[in-house]
Amino acid sequence: MALEQPEGGVGTSARILDTAERLVQVRGFNAFSYADIAQELGVTKASLHYHYPSKAVLGQELIGRYAARFGAALAEVDARLSDPRAKLDAFTGLYADVLRDQRMCLCGMLAAEYQTLPKTMQTAVVCFFNHCETWLQGVLREGQERGTLLLRASTADTAQMIVGTLEGAMLIARSYGDINRFQAAATQLLTSLTSDAPTPAP
């Protein structure tokens, strides 16, 4: 690896992905162009096409890298924490980190543009959500067994609800430019899964 990048830098291909990723997360896949990336990196559009022949290919690689990184983050959470509640909290933290620099979750953004995406990208987006939900189901199941989590539905339905809630909270918090909106939603979500006694009516 180090031999392939003697400068200690990050290869052009990766720098292209870095820029494209941010542009998709901020503006959307349909609202950025090769020209945007080229200008930012100080190269030409033709050079970009050498690394990623078409925008569809670029988008595909984008999702692939993002999913791999997210999967690694989940594995790291598993290695670091054992309490299911703590894992859920860490999960929402991953989303908060993305939102902190004005970005939407890559696949949340692509979900909005879903109907306009190439088939391969559509499949990859759904695959990402499936991966998230599978991980969540494991956490929920263990929390249920330990008795530290109280679910109102099946682990599958609850996992789906969690992903949707976090994606939606990000979506709207970004419009308000207020990360607290996301945090408030995440807190309520965790509370609803760990406590069965909300503020009672007097």
Chain residues 56-95 in contact with its own copies, contact rule CB under 8 A: none
The interface region with its own copies, picked from 7-15, 42-50, 61-69, 174-182 by CB under 8 A, is 174-182
Q: How far is the C-alpha of 85 from the C-alpha of 87, rounded, in Å?
A: 5
Nearest approach, Cβ of residue 197 and its own copies (Å): 6
The interface partner of residue 181, options being DNA, its own copies, none and the CB cut-off 5 to 8 Å by kind, is: its own copies
Q: How far is the C-alpha of 69 from the C-alpha of 18, rounded, in Å?
A: 13
Interaction of residue 83 with DNA, rule CB under 7 A: no
Hey, is 59 helix, strand or coil? helix
Taking a C-beta distance cutoff of 8 angstroms, is the pair 109, 29 a contact? yes
Interaction of residue 101 with its own copies, rule CB under 8 A: no
Q: How far is the C-alpha of 86 from the C-alpha of 146, rounded, in Å?
A: 13
Q: Looking at 49, 65, 85, 181, which residue binds DNA (CB under 7 A)?
A: 49
Interaction of residue 179 with its own copies, rule CB under 8 A: no
DSSP single-letter state for residue 104: P
By beta-carbon proximity to DNA, the closer residue of 54 and 188 is 54
- Interface pattern 8-47 for DNA (x via CB under 7 A): ----x-------------------xxxxx-----xxxxxx
The answer to whether the Cα torsion of 87, 91, 97, 99 is positive or negative is: negative
Distance of CA 24 to the CA centre of its chain: 12
DSSP single-letter state for residue 196: S
For residue 167, give Cα distances in angstroms to 38, 92, 119, 163.
Answer: 30, 10, 22, 6
Interaction of residue 153 with DNA, rule CB under 7 A: no
- Beta-carbon contacts of residue 67 (< 8 Å; ≥ 6 apart): 107, 124, 127, 128, 131
Interaction of residue 53 with DNA, rule CB under 7 A: yes
By beta-carbon proximity to DNA, the closer residue of 44 and 154 is 44
By beta-carbon proximity to DNA, the closer residue of 49 and 181 is 49
* Site residues (vs DNA, CB under 7 A): 12, 32-36, 42-47, 49-51, 53-56
* Site residues (vs its own copies, CB under 8 A): 26-28, 30-31, 102, 104, 108-109, 111-116, 122, 125-126, 129, 144, 147, 150-153, 157-158, 160-161, 163-176, 181, 184-185, 187-189, 191-192, 195-201
